[in-house]
A = this chain, B = another copy of it.
Amino acid sequence: MVGRPAVPEVIWARPERAGRGPKPAFSRADIAAAAVRIADAEGLDALSMRKVAAELGCGTMSLYNYVPRKEDLHELMLDAVSAGYEYPDPSGDWRADLLALAHQARGMMHRHTWVPRLMSPVYGFSPNALRYLEYALSCLDGVDARFGEKMELIAMLNGVVTTYTANEIATAERSRSLPWSEEQEQAARTGYLISQIMTGKYPRMAAGFAEDPGPIDLDAVFDRALARVLDSFASA
């Protein structure tokens, strides 16, 4: 009688529809879709309970019948975008299959640039997250390794994809968010960097930036990074 979890329950544990009262006007999918629409259009910082409620056309506090905390809204959103994955039958080449999966993840994050920020702690246990994990495991069916090791590999892959894509997105947004003068800001930023390097305290960075490497092929870097992770697993 003392307690009941009060709050920290997982949202997936509570049934979407309780049998008793009037039937809910929205489904979780509706709510998630509305939230995703807002976050896609205006960014994660502009996402508020009020805006989601307005998008749905209901009062702010009505939303709290479906989503007890904002954090749960985030879980719903992650699950919603994770519904878009395609899971072709594993080809037998687990390296290629996992690489393709990683590419899907990267593409998804580019479509929904707020995803990396919400993924920060850990990939949860929403239905679609479980599907994702199960599929990744199925790609590794032929591989002789313990369950724990496979999970480690998958976690590591997800981690690399997430941080890598987060970097891509951050860089892209940094240069987009300056309508007044992109060059000017870039100049100020790298100007400071140059001034620091000029102090001579960072000779290796100075030397590195001196040799012009030409344009960077981000796709290639991404593939190379993943290939390394996969190779290291194969050779273990």
Where the two chains meet, the residues of A that have a C-beta atom closer than 8 Å to any C-beta of B are 2-3, 5-6, 8-10, 12-13, 116-117, 120-122, 125, 127, 130-131, 133-134, 137-138, 141, 146-148, 150-152, 155-156, 159-160, 162-164, 166-167, 170-171, 177-178, 180-181, 184-185, 188-189, 191-193, 196, 201-205, 207-209, 211, 213, 216, 221, 224-225, 228-229, 231-233, 235-236
For this complex, 25 residue pairs linking A to B, each with C-beta atoms less than 8 Å apart, are A5-B184, A10-B192, A12-B196, A116-B120, A120-B120, A121-B170, A122-B166, A122-B170, A125-B192, A131-B201, A131-B202, A133-B202, A134-B201, A134-B204, A146-B213, A147-B207, A147-B211, A148-B208, A151-B208, A152-B224, A155-B167, A159-B159, A159-B164, A162-B163, A228-B233
Residue of chain B at shortest CB distance from A138:
B204
Q: Which residues of chain B come closer than 8 Å to A236, judged between CB atoms?
A: 228
Give the distance to chain B from A78, nearest Cβ to Cβ, in Å: 14
A192 and B13: CB pair below 8 A? yes
Q: Which residues of chain B come closer than 8 Å to A233, judged between CB atoms?
A: 228
Distance A134 CA – B185 CA, assembled complex (angstroms) = 25
Which are the 8 A-B pairs with shortest beta-carbon distances?
Answer: A228-B232, A147-B208, A159-B163, A121-B170, A137-B204, A13-B192, A134-B202, A232-B232
B228 and A148: CB pair below 8 A? no
Of B8, B130, B146, B191, which is within 8 A of A202 by CB? B130
Give the distance to chain B from A14, nearest Cβ to Cβ, in Å: 9
